[in-house]
Structure 1
Amino acid sequence: MESWVDGQPADVLSLKDRGLAYGDGLFETIAVRNGTAVLLERHLQRLETGCRRLALRVDWGTLNAELDSYARSLGDGVLKLIVTRGDSLRGYAADPSSEARRILQGSPPAAYPATHAERGVNLFPCSVRLSEQPLLAGLKHLNRLEQVLARAEWNDAQYAEGLMLDTSGRVVEGVFSNLFLVREGVLITADLGRCGVAGVMRAELLFQAESCGIATWITDVSLEQLHQADEVFVCNSVYGVWPVLSCGSARWSAGPLTRKLQTLARALLDV
């Protein structure tokens, strides 16, 4: 499907765009089912948080109308929304009055092997570390070079994802997903106050778990805690939940809480 730039079909972008020059912007990767953008409210909540923090000026009424129209045209697939600060001249200083640029791209539904969800996946223990920057923590900003470097660490098909730690050695997330562990019935995920992406599916699963009476805990997670977990899984807003079977020498099985949340995630995505 053709891309849109500021509401118009386009296949080119200005060379002066600050998203290209500095990674000055944000993005959302949104599953689309039957012409409907899945978990759109949560995606927009995260995007609004990022725009406030980066002081990006977005016309939200126009953006919402474009998202609705584009999703209906796409039908089924993955919609990528990119918001940049728009054009500028040379230098880091930005024009505070400039309107953000809106870029919409569509692609076919993600084709992951069914065995990832059914049997589980292995994580590659990445050596690349996430830098700690609280001002950017949680945001899905355009600076993804840490993830690019981490993903380049493995080519073996036995690994579906990679595990990323921060520079202090804390467990944070996957390369393109959030990570949860279960210990004695408690659902645990990393505190993302220093780095990492506050995933849409992560937020929804925490909400769903609390609604079901499942204890949740957002905290710093050590490798030792990860290795001692009863269950481990990764999630994102496109594929839902994948049980984790191994990472390095650690081994787990797909447990009952993982399967319960996987079922909830599948229901959210199968609209």
Structure 2
Amino acid sequence: MTAAAARVLVDGLSCSTVSVFDRGLGYGDGLFETIRFAHGKAPLWSRHMQRLADSGARLRLPVPDAALLLREALVAAAGLDHAVVRITLTRGIGERGYAPPATPQPTRVVAAFDAPAMGGDAYANGIRVRWCDTRLAQQPLLAGMKHLNRLEQVLARAEWSDATVAEGLLCDTAGDVISATMANLFAVIDGVLVTPALERCGVAGVARAEVLAIRPEANVVRLRPGELARAAEVFLTSSVRGILPVQAVGNTVYVPGPVSRALQQHWRGLGFPMEQA
């Protein structure tokens, strides 16, 4: 489904426009969640709502009731067996200037799209990934949030046009591995499941949170590119795409392993429509 064909609600009404004075447009002042639905169910809904609530508190941005958001998400996704629903929340309309309004009236946008398939060669054999030259700036005040400022990811994704490369890995300005452009990263190194620490930058994904919850032995670490090259297996996690094994990062080759396979099975158990890998 194209953007023009998406089902969109703005503040609960069928609409596809917002004010040019909205702070989300002017300053990126807001948050968003991208949620996968399967047959009217969103297995990771509670994790999305928890992140939205936590991020809203950090930004002092009022967050709508989760029950209201779910009702609107189901309206937008009606008729789609497999949907991706994006919930965008901005601080609403304000006066010119950075100072936020004392009593903000947030704008909420709920849009539904056809979900990409979970299956095929990418899930069975893994994807090719490259290193990005773009570096993520360190800003602990925003770290972990899925805020509307995604220019670093836009610049990183613009670095390649090779259709055989599915993702790019990002380091921060200190040289630590952080994530892919649209997913979190896990690796098995010396028999230990690890994922990069995100206290300084990066998005703390809900799929990452699910993996950490069911794999309490996993370690959150500062990860260097050289350490990743020693990994026995590498995979990406995404609330939209699920568990994606990595077959290569540049010229370093990996093989999908038992951890990524077990997590793909867990995703099927959650209710996501993954084909057998």
TM interval, shorter chain, is: over 0.9
Equivalent runs, 1:1-271 vs 2, <5 Å: 1-60=6-65, 61-72=67-78, 74-111=80-117, 114-210=120-216, 215-270=217-272
CA offsets per residue over residues 139-181 of structure 1, 9 Å max, x none? 0000000000000111111211101000010000000000000
2:38 alignment partner AA: R
CA distance in 1, matches of 2:116, 2:47: 20
Which has the higher mean CA deviation after the structures are superposed, 1-10 or 144-153?
Answer: 1-10
CA distance in 2, matches of 1:191, 1:254: 23
What is the TM-score normalised by the length of structure 2?
Answer: 0.92
Secondary structure of the residue aligned to 1:3 is strand
Relative to 1, partners in 2 of residues 1:203 and 1:62: Cα closer, same or farther, differing over 3 Å?
A: same
Quote how far apart the aligned CAs of 1:183 are.
1.8
User: Is the CA contact (8 Å cut-off) linking 1:187 and 1:216 kept in structure 2?
Assistant: yes
Instruction: Give 4+ residue runs of structure 1 displaced > 6 Å after superposition.
Output: none
Secondary structure of the residue aligned to 1:37 is coil
Q: Which runs of 5+ in 1 are unaligned?
A: none
Quote how far apart the aligned CAs of 1:63 are.
3.0
What is the TM-score normalised by the length of structure 1?
Answer: 0.94
Number of residue equivalences? 267
CA distance in 2, matches of 1:63, 1:144: 23
2:246 alignment partner AA: V
User: Is the CA contact (8 Å cut-off) linking 1:190 and 1:219 kept in structure 2?
Assistant: yes
CA distance in 2, matches of 1:106, 1:59: 18
User: Is the CA contact (8 Å cut-off) linking 1:58 and 1:99 kept in structure 2?
Assistant: no
CA distance in 1, matches of 2:239, 2:29: 23
User: Is the CA contact (8 Å cut-off) linking 1:56 and 1:99 kept in structure 2?
Assistant: no
CA RMSD after TM alignment? 1.6
Relative to 1, partners in 2 of residues 1:127 and 1:183: Cα closer, same or farther, differing over 3 Å?
A: same
Quote how far apart the aligned CAs of 1:96 are.
2.5
CA distance in 2, matches of 1:218, 1:190: 6
2:166 alignment partner AA: A
User: Is the CA contact (8 Å cut-off) linking 2:87 and 2:109 kept in structure 1?
Assistant: yes
Q: Which runs of 5+ in 2 are unaligned?
A: 1-5
User: Is the CA contact (8 Å cut-off) linking 2:236 and 2:243 kept in structure 1?
Assistant: yes
1:53 alignment partner AA: R
Secondary structure of the residue aligned to 1:26 is strand
2:91 alignment partner AA: R
Quote how far apart the aligned CAs of 1:135 are.
0.4
Secondary structure of the residue aligned to 1:234 is strand
Secondary structure of the residue aligned to 2:215 is helix
2:255 alignment partner AA: S
Identical residues among aligned pairs (%): 43
User: Is the CA contact (8 Å cut-off) linking 1:37 and 1:71 kept in structure 2?
Assistant: no
Secondary structure of the residue aligned to 1:140 is coil
CA distance in 1, matches of 2:43, 2:77: 10
Secondary structure of the residue aligned to 2:101 is coil
